[in-house]
Amino acid sequence: MGNTVRLRPPKNQLNRRCLLWWRARTALVVAPIVAALAFIGFLVAPVLTVFAGIAAAAGLAYGVLMPMWWYRVHRWEVTDTAVYTRTGYFWQESRIAPMSRIQTVDTVRGPLQQLLRLATVTVTTASAKGAVRIAGLDAELAADLAAELTRITHATPGDAT
């Protein structure tokens, strides 16, 4: 049973800058909604300004609290035999991608991630469930991780199907 891959909790946390990334993404969704409600409320129906205030308070609470929760839940780890991830909010999902099943390794850095020096590593496998993503890594660590995964998968026997 030497190289048995078992489901277990991953050890590594994401980079703490991912908290800022998640909060900024929340603000980019909430702020236009609040602004539109406030503007329309100012011009047409003053009651909408109340809804703008409620939306602003709810968005602020969500933007402050949820990223802290996500940071506590989201984990990742890479070993010589597999990539382990845990993600989720209320329903948590743990995934394993055995090295022999990995087909491609990609890194992605959107504009906010670039600003915060973060990146996402996407590990594509032959699984119908889809790719395994590790979002919120330091950009330099993500590049090193992608190179390491490429090296390990190249040396791992199997046909990735």
More confident residue, 130 or 30: 30
Sheet strands (E) in the chain: 12-13, 75-78, 82-88, 92-98, 102-108, 118-125, 132-138
pLDDT higher than threshold 90 for residue 2 = no
The predicted structure's pLDDT at residue 127:
79
Q: What pLDDT is attached to residue 5?
A: 60
CB burial string 25-39: b at 16+ within 10 A, e below: ebeeebeeebeebbe
For residue range 68-121, list pLDDT tens digits in order. Answer: 999 999 999 999 889 999 998 889 999 999 998 899 999 999 999 999 999 999
> What is the model's pTM?
0.84
> Is the CATH number 3.40.50.150 carried by domain 77-155?
no
Q: pLDDT of 26-55, one tens digit each? A: 999 999 999 999 999 889 888 889 999 999
Q: 57: buried, middle or exposed (CB in 10 Å: 19+, 13-18, 0-12)?
A: exposed
- Predicted confidence at residue 158, as pLDDT, reads 65
